[in-house]
Structure 1
C-alpha cells in the first residue's frame, strides 16, 4: 500500500486549486507533490481499443468510444496537454511509489461487452507497465469489479455503486467499497461492519469540511475529494 498514511484521495487528481485540468497528468503530478494517499482517474476505450484518461464519455464534443485514437490524440486539454492515454498516465505515476493510482474503469455507454473488454485491457496495461504495486481499481459495474479480481486476484478492488451490503462485498471477494457519502450517511453502521469484515471503506466526493470531519470521526479509511489541500490540513 501507499507509504503516505493520510486518508486523502485526490478526485481526478489535484486540479481545483491548481492550474491543472482534471484527469490530466499535471493533476496527477500535483497530487503526488501534495503526498496524497491516492489520485483517482477515469479510463475509457476508443473505437480502435486504445485506452484514454478522461471523466466524461465525450471530450470537447467528441465521443471517446466512437472515435479512433489518431483523432483523440490530437485533442488538447484546457491546460495545453494532449488528452492522455492510460499508458502515458501510468508511466507518469510509475515515477514514484508513494501515491497510489486509483483507476476507475468507466462503464461503457455502448455495451457490457465493451466494459469487460476495457477491464481486460486496463489490467493488461497495469501488468505490462509493472505498476500493480501502486494501482487500485474502482468501478460502478459490479461485473467489472468481479472481472478485475478474476484477472488480478491480488488487486485491491472497490465497488462504487452503493447498492451492495458489507456481507455481499465480502462474499464476492472484493476488497471494499467506495460509496457516495450519502450512502454511508443512510447506512451509518456500514463503515463499522466493513471494518469488522476486514474490508476497506472509501467515500466520494467529499468537499465540505463538516462532512470531511464526520467521516474522519467515523474512521473511514479514505476520503475522495476535489479539495485535497483542505482535507490534508484538517486530518493532520
Structure 2
C-alpha cells in the first residue's frame, strides 16, 4: 500500500513537471487597439507556424504581436515551435479578442434561479451569457475513472461523483433534462462567445488531498488541450490547489475561497485574489481595501440580498457572485 502511494506521488510529480514545462503566453487575449498579444515563455528560438502565422511576429522581448493592423476577429490559433527545457517542442494557443464584460457580475452556478435552467447546466451558462454577466461560475469534480464532470454537490441523485464512473453518471439527468456536462462540453460551449468568462471551481476531494491535486492537473491539461486559457479563471477552497494552479500555469488567474487567509498571506503565495463568503468580509472589514492596496482581486459570494449588494458595491468589490444576477444588474443600473 505504501509503495503504491509513493509510486502514485512520483507519477503525479512527473505529470506536474511535464505540464508546467509546456510553453505559455502571459496573456491569451488581444484588443484591436494594441498590436501586442502576450509574451512567450518557456521557449528559445521560437518561431510561428500554421495558416495564421503570417499575421504575427515575435520580437526581441519574446512578445507575440500583430504585424499589421489588428483584425476584428473573434480569435486566432497560433502554433509556436522552439526549444524548451526538455528539447524541441511545439504548442498551439488560441488568442481571443477581449470583448469580455467589465460589470463584475458573476452568476453562481450559471443563471438558473430566475430562468428555469438547472444549476451548472449548459443552459444556465447560456443564460448567464445572455444576461451579459462578467462570469459564469461552475464546479468540477473527478470521477472514479478520472473523468471531469461539472456539478456542485458531491452526490447527485444518490450517486457519489467521485466513486462513480463516467458511464454511470451519463445515465443521470439534471432537472431540465440535461445530462451532467463534462468539463470539455462546458468549456466548448463557453468558448462560442467572448463576453462572459468561465469561472472554474476545482472541487476539493472528499477522498484525499492527492485526488484534489490530480484533479487540478487534469483540469489544467484539459483547458490547455481545448486552448481555453483566454476564457478561464480559477477558484478553489483548497489553498494547495490554488498554489498548484499557479505552479502549472503561472499566468492563470486564481482566487482562494475558504476565507482563512489574509490579503498579506495571499499576496505572499502569489495568489491573484480572494473570493470569500460575505460573512468573512463583514468580520474583516479592512480586508477589501488591503486587498486592493496589494493589487489583489476581491470577489464575494453568494450575495443575494440587495442591501448586501449595495454595501459591497460601495466598498468597490471587483466582483460579486450571486444566484440572482438580475438583481445585481438592476442595482448597478440605478447608479
TM over 0.5: yes
Deviation at 1:19, TM superposition (A): 1.2
| TM-aligned CA deviation for residue 76 of structure 1 | 1.0
How far the C-alpha of 1:219 sits from its partner, in A, is 0.3
Match of 1:187 in 2: 284
Q: Which protein is richer in strand relative to its size?
A: 2
Residue 2 of structure 1 and its aligned partner are, at CA, apart by: 6.2
Alignment of 1:145-156 (within 5 A): 145-156=242-253
Structure 2 equivalent of residue 109 of structure 1: 206
User: Could you tell me how far apart the structure 1 residues matched to 2:115 and 2:301 are?
Assistant: 20
Q: Corresponding residue for 1:54? A: 151
1:222 aligns with 2:222: no
Decide which of 196, 210, 231 is 2:307's aligned counterpart.
210
Larger Rg: 2
**Aligned CA distance change for structure 1 residues 152 and 2 (closer, same or farther; 3 Å):** farther
Note if contact 2:170-2:179 (Cα within 8 Å) is conserved in structure 1: yes
Q: Of the candidates 181, 192, 195, which is equivalent to residue 95 of structure 1?
A: 192
For 2:230, what is the secondary structure of its paired residue?
helix
Q: In structure 2, which of residues 221, 225, 229 is the aligned counterpart of residue 132 of structure 1?
A: 229
Q: Which has the higher contact order (CA 8 A, sep 6+)?
A: 1
Distance 1:129 1:57 in 2: 25
TM-score w.r.t. length of structure 2: 0.70
The 3-state SS of whatever aligns with 1:132 is coil
The corresponding residue for 1:121 is 218
Indicate the residue corresponding to 2:102 in structure 1: 5
Which of structure 1's runs of 4+ aligned residues deviate more than 2 A? none
Aligned counterparts of 1:152 and 1:96: Cα–Cα separation in 2 = 23
Is the Cα contact below 8 Å between 1:74 and 1:83 reproduced in 2? Answer: no
Deviation of the 1:73 alpha carbon: 1.2
Match of 1:172 in 2: 269
Alpha-carbon distance between aligned partners in 2 of 1:99 and 1:2, rounded to the nearest angstrom: 9
After TM superposition, give the deviation of residue 3 of structure 1 in Å. Answer: 2.2
- The 8 Å contact of residues 149 and 183 in structure 2, kept in 1 or not, is answered as yes
Mapped partners of 1:7, 1:22: distance in 2: 20
Please identify which structure carries the higher helix content. 1
Deviations 1:206-230 (A, max 9, x none): 0000000000000000000001011
- Could you tell me whether the CA contact under 8 Å between 2:100 and 2:197 is conserved in 1? no
Name the SS of the counterpart of 1:161 in structure 2. Answer: coil
TM-score normalised to structure 1 length: 0.99
1:142-185 CA deviation, whole Å, 9 max, x = no partner?
A: 00000000001000000000000011000000100000001111
Matched, 1:75 2:175: no
